[in-house]
Structure 1
Amino acid sequence: MLIREAIKLFIEDREFKNLSPFTIKTYRITLNIFCDYCVSKGIVEIDNLSPQTTKSFLMYCKNELHNLPTSINQKLRTLKAFIKFLAEEEYLEDDKPIKKIKKIKELVQIEVLTDEQINMILKHLKKFNYHVNSFVTFRNRKMFIFLLSTGVRRGEVVNIKWSDVDFENQIIRIYGKKRRVSSIPFTLKLKRELLEYRVFLEEFLKEDPVYLFPSGKNTQLTDEAVSSFFKTLKKEMNFEGVRLSAHTIRHTFAHRCLVGGMDVMTLKSLLNHENISVTEKYVALWGTALKEQNDRFNPLNNIDI
């Protein structure tokens, strides 16, 4: 079977399993790059795939495409899913081409925004509210505030509908990774922001908005639109030492929660992490930032030794 035909079967299988459009898009992009690489090496049949093919492809991503370790590991996960699918469906005898290949070590460095940077962003976005792009800027300002207050992912924020927002109990339904549904609380301060924002949307759209952060045509916002907002913001703010993205805001949320004294299990629930080991990475990184909380709550404080 041709590699390109196998990729088509794999994508159809993932669509049948109702994976998110973003996940399927990521699979398609990575596998098309892999297929083009294989063809350039004279490999067009899946039977000719080998561990060396996979390793050389990942080295190509590192040396020629200049992918960072995180991107390389993401590509490896995609290839593992693809090869295992072929083995399970008996298009291949086994998953030998990928079985023993391990992910590479990543330099764990999580960037967060300072109070000064956050205030600069909010002031910058507010300044443009009355220009011709007032809808987009006002919506993006509210979205920035929402992300900062909830820590939700980029792929989650675009899926939230107004029907998912329970103002009475101050709870929002979130559709997370692997289609897991959870509910997270929101503060009274954010409630006021959202109520003001809702009035603005109704006046601008001349109809009831469906999505929490819609396009100007009252349709669902795309992941790319959110990324584009942050790319533009990055150029306009020109901050040093920190990149601007929805995930940076998520890290900032986690950082503030931990430094403020929140326990790990509560943070895990708020961030909708499937495994607590992911949440614990934050604790490992910001252990020094937690010193103040440890000094404040340490059991020895009230014990005479």
Structure 2
Amino acid sequence: MSTPSERRANSKGKTVQDAIERYLTYKIQAEGSRTTMRSPLMGFAEFCRRDLGLKDIGDLEPAHIRRYSEDLYDRTKIDEEISASTAQTYFAYVRAFLSWCVRDQLLETNPADTTEAMDPLPEDDGKRKTQYWSEDEREQLINYVTKRVDMALEGTIRVDRETAFRDRAIVVMLDGTGARGAELFSDPKDEKRDGLRWSDVDFEERSIEVYGKSRDYETAPFPESVHDVLERWLGLLDPPTEEWPVFPTGPSVFG
């Protein structure tokens, strides 16, 4: 593990834009994701240069990221330039980038992973958040699919455990990521929509890459609740390759 002085030496002279270019080149493999993420991340780099007067990536602190959150709030609530969900997405891109900076020894800790940094972000109370379910409906549905897993493991219902685990993962994914069914499952009528693959899931960054409604590849972050359920489903499914669908269909999957 590198020392603080070594990290300062690594980041010396490396601007936020330099680090973003390296991140997009070496971490983000899908061309669609690079295209989607480039503009918001370069906007963050410009904000650091213009508004913060920040030169080296290693100088970033939680207070700087809070200023960025405040800027996203202003662009949402005052200027009405972007939606709250877009502000949340932009912040998630920046947080994932800064996590990579920690692993690349440019930062000691992620300055975006603090309450101070995230507190000003506008709340997303739109359709992507609620997914058309009321709070009661969401709670009842998640409780049901969780209980169904328990009963399948106990053998008290005529549902195999694979089906129960898969169905719970589907419900939790739809609720926790804001993704649509069209983004998770394959569509035989649309060759572009071949379904979510395990290679599209980044457990470390807690995000998935989907072919979105805009017909471009988008990154959607997910919370700890999705991480745990999805990881258990992965362990049970035990796919032969990373290109295996997250939600396979057909009778031959477990046979």
| TM-score for both structures, normalised by structure 2 | 0.44
| TM-score for both structures, normalised by structure 1 | 0.38
- Return the index of the structure with the highest Cα Rg: 1
